[in-house]
Structure formats: structure tokens, C-alpha cells
Amino acid sequence: MADVAQSVDAVPLVAADDVHVHYGESHVLRGVSLCVREGEAIGLLGRNGMGKTTLIRTLLGHVRASGGRIAVRGHDATRLRPDRIARWGLAYVPEGRAIFPNLSVRENLVVAARRGVSGRDDWPLERILQTFPRLRERLGHGGQQLSGGEQQMLAIGRALSTNPDLLILDEATEGLAPLIVREIWRIVADIRGTGIASLIVDRNFRSVLANTDRALILEKGRVVLADTSETLIARRDDLAARLGV
């Protein structure tokens, strides 16, 4: 890990250059490029089936790119295993949460805990519990005993326990009650304020644009629109055409 530690200050944290992905005969990503710099919040928007989750999973090594290059901290990560990429400071909160249902809340949080790339330990258990008071009340509960909103908080808390430099959120508010959705977005804003970079996928484009610096819109595996979030929120006609809103 020495080479990783030496490159902590390199930018961007993650860069995709002309990335293509095929699922059999299906060409899912078609020359996608993006970068996420240190401390930057990026939104990834698009209708269902346009390639957003595939792009995230390709950046993380869960899906193998069929063309193009992916770099993490300036290192070629196009063919690296997901566990190697994760140890370069990337944390993933997947759609569906993927918590460990048979482990307690405490066990879910400590099982993934580790120091960050530079040795930082900014997110010990106590800080996570301060950020998510509901989890403190349920430390001994099994993951399967939690509500959907509590499971989502646990998934985010578990990701933070790895002391990441980049937090990737895929549909973090899907299926949650409006009150919990507002709480999740408050937490996302608080995390952004700590300087952790983020890559956010969510159907609520207004909330995404309110909590990001820049955003990209995918359509049929291509980036069709990219701009600052402030500019995009004013382009109502473009958003309506691309997102169907």
C-alpha cells in the first residue's frame, strides 16, 4: 500500500476515460468519461436502464470494462479486483443496501472498519453513532430487525467506517418514507461538509443537484449532458427531455 499512500493528494480520485462495457451482445456503456476530484460531489442522473449502476460497478471493479481506462489516484485500475480498489479509499453504498442481516448493528459497523489511505481514523464508531442516533438505540439488534430507513443508515455508516475519500451512493433513498428521505439527504449534506468526495445516483434529481457540484446525465450508455449542478437545475427543458420530469 505504500504506492497508494504516496498518491493521496493526486487528483482526480477517480477518472474514467472513454469506458465501454458489454453484457454479451448488449453495448451498455458507450465511451463514458468522468472524473471525481478530492472533496467534489458529483451527481449521476438518467432514466432507468441508462447505465448509471453499470458505470458505478465498473469504476469499482465489479464489472470489467471492454474498452477505455479507469484510474484511481492516477493508478490504472481498469483490471483491478474490487477489494484492491476499495482499499484506495472508495466506499460503496449499493442499491438494496446489502447489509449483513445476521449480524448485529454493532457488528455490521465494526466488521468493515479500517483506517483511511493516509492512516486517518476520522470515522470511529462513536462518530458514526453521533451521526446516526437511531443506530445507537439499536446496536444489539440484528440487521434484519431494522426498518428500511435504519438499514440505509447502517449501510452508509458501514461505508463511513472505512474512512473513505470517495463515498458512492446508489439510490440511497429508494423506497423510503418521505421523513426518512429528508433525513438521509440531511446526512448526505453533513458528510459532504466534512470534505469527503461523493458520487450520487438518485431518482430525485432536485435533491441530487442541490447536494452536488457537478452532474452528468446518461442516456443509452452515453453522457449526453454535463454541467455544474447550479446550471443544470435552471435548464428545465433539457432536464425534462432527458429525465422525463
| Surface-to-core class of residue 162, CB atoms within 10 Å of its CB (0-12 exposed, 13-18 middle, 19+ buried) | buried
- Report the relative pairing of strands 41-45 and 26-36 from DSSP bridges: unpaired
**Statement: residue 3 has pLDDT above 50:** no
pLDDT at 120: 84
Q: Find where cell 443537484 sits.
A: 209
Q: State mean pLDDT over 185-192.
A: 92
Tell me: pLDDT of 7 over 70. Answer: no
What pLDDT is attached to residue 8? 45
Residue 1: band (very low, low, confident or very high) from pLDDT cuts 50, 70, 90: very low
**pLDDT computed for residue 10 by the predictor:** 53
pLDDT of amino acid 14: 96
| 203/206 Cα distance (integer angstroms) | 9
Per-domain residue ranges for the chain?
Answer: 2-243
Give the whole-number percent of the chain exceeding pLDDT 90.
Answer: 74
CATH superfamily of 2-243: P-loop containing nucleotide triphosphate hydrolases (3.40.50.300)
Distance CA 59, CA 41 (A): 16
Closest CA to 197 of 165, 169, 245: 165
- Residue 58 gets the label, from left (phi > 0), alpha (psi -120 to 50) or beta, of alpha
pLDDT at res. 238: 86
- Candidates 122, 12, 138, 23; CA nearest to 77 is 12
The mean pLDDT value for 161-186 works out to 92
At residue 41, the pLDDT reads: 97
pLDDT per residue as tens digits for the range 90-127: 999 988 778 888 899 999 999 989 998 888 899 999 99
- The tens digit of pLDDT for each residue in 31-67 reads 999 999 999 999 999 999 899 999 999 999 999 999 9
Evaluated on CA atoms 192, 197, 200, 204, the torsion sign reads: positive
pLDDT tens per residue, range 198-223: 999 999 999 999 999 999 999 999 99
Q: Quick one: average pLDDT of 12-28?
A: 94
Contacts of 105 (CB under 8 A, 6+ apart): 135, 138, 139, 140, 141, 142, 143, 146, 154
pLDDT at 117: 87
Closest CA to 17 of 35, 43, 41, 29: 35
* 19 against 236, higher pLDDT: 19
